[in-house]
Amino acid sequence: MTVETAALDKATLGLHPLEQYEPLIGQAAASRIFKKADQVRDAHVIHVNSTFYGGGVTEILTPLTLMMNALGIETGWRQIQGTPAFFSCTKKFHNALQGERVDLTDAEKAVYEQVVFENATRLHLAGCDAVVIHDPQPLPLVGHFADRKMPWLWQCHIDLSTPNPATWNYLRGFVDSYDAAIFSLPEYAQDIDIVQHFFTPAINPFSAKNAELSESEIDECLMRHRIPTNRPLVTQISRFDRWKDPMGVIEAFRKARQSVDCTLVLVGNSATDDPEGDVILETIKASIDERVIVLTVDDPVLVNALQRRAAVVLQKSTREGFGLTVTEAMWKGAAVIGGNVGGIRRQITDGKDGFLVDSIDQAAERIVQLLQDADLRRRLGARAREMVRENFLMSRLLEDWLDLLAGYRRP
């Protein structure tokens, strides 16, 4: 079997190996990454987070772990289990790290630490060369493996530009026990005693959510979900989370609709480790009218079709660690309006490949501008796709990890 045939077989099975990226990134870049993989091919890495479903962490780990295993790097992915009280507490951590004032009780901290201890008892890591812990939920695990011989790395995917001091000081007690921390942006760097690295997230361009779709496939998908196409579509696709500002999106849409007739489609889900999602969803549903469609289906092809067909894609976050939904829409050549926060600012250059906004009124004005100017939408979309091709494909994130793991190789 040739290398090309093997790569095709893997792609057919959904692995999307590095070979498949070569037409997008070039032969030189692909060869460079293959050589780096050779340096760590015998490594055994384990990632630990709190859910297989919902949110950007799973969108990253799914293709990343598959690509690494396809390269012969043994890469595992495990989840911790928790009670509702545990996830209620860790959601408070998430909100506090993004700047909200949160008062944590000693009882909540005790639940948090006890559940992580129970998970540590079941987590067997013998033979690992590196352990990567994602976000606050499993953070204290490091304290239960005192005799560890492998490096422990903590990757935080949250906007840490202005964390709540009390919460951060509590969590830092665990963070400083790690060998290194990984943040999405240099702006999230913290005053900690360990090495800090910065990896921007990335997407798999070949997944069902991002792969090419024909116009007829898009039409069929939208029809199946009863999404009308007789008016221009405006959409936001994200978890039902207050930081994504879905209510602000609805208000901006209603202001824009006073000038241009259109339909708003909100598509989202509630991550299994986010107890606030259902409450946010009910609030949204209570405020919609006949021109606002809310869908909670788990259909990556629908996301793909909407991002390709919508005249405007929004991600009006008020805090955002990075915002992979922005990357996904830009990859499809969409005209994107994003909140002027966090990682969205790293993806969108205002006026060049999308628009950044600071308020509901600004969002409404940009919606109207884009709906009235098809040429502007096409120009922004073409530049947006190139921005993602150059910076935010999974092959680049894979290379970041290969470089990091090579630095921890035992002599």
pLDDT at 5: 46
The helix, strand and coil proportions of the chain, stated in percent and rounded to the nearest 5, come to 50, 15, 40
pLDDT at 9: 53
pLDDT at 411: 54
pLDDT at 271: 60
| 215-391 carries CATH number 3.40.50.2000 | yes
pLDDT at 17: 93
The domains spanning 3-202+393-407 and 215-391 adopt the same CATH topology? yes
**Nearest residue to 138 (alpha-carbon basis) of 159, 160, 123:** 123
pLDDT at 52: 84
Residue with tokens 């060049």: 352
DSSP readout, 374-411? HHHHHHHHHHHHHHHHHH-BHHHHHHHHHHHHHHT---
pLDDT at 27: 97
Q: In this structure, which topology does domain 3-202+393-407 adopt according to CATH?
A: Rossmann fold (3.40.50)
Token readout for 45 is 């890495």
Token readout for 396 is 């680049």
Q: 94, 136 in Cβ contact below 8 A?
A: yes
pLDDT at 257: 97
Q: 44, 127 in Cβ contact below 8 A?
A: yes
Distance CA 342, CA 159 (A): 6
pLDDT lower than 50: segments of the chain: 1-8, 12
Across 223-343, the runs of DSSP E, i.e. the strands, are: 233-237, 263-267, 292-295, 312-315, 336-339
> Tell me: the pLDDT tens digits for 222-277?
999 999 999 999 999 998 988 999 999 999 999 999 999 999 999 987 665 566 77
Burial 150-168 (b: 16+ CB within 10 A, else e): bbbbbbbbbbbbebbeebb
Using the Cα atoms of residue 294, residue 300, residue 301 and residue 303 in order, give the sign of their dihedral: positive
Domain boundaries, the chain: 3-202+393-407, 215-391
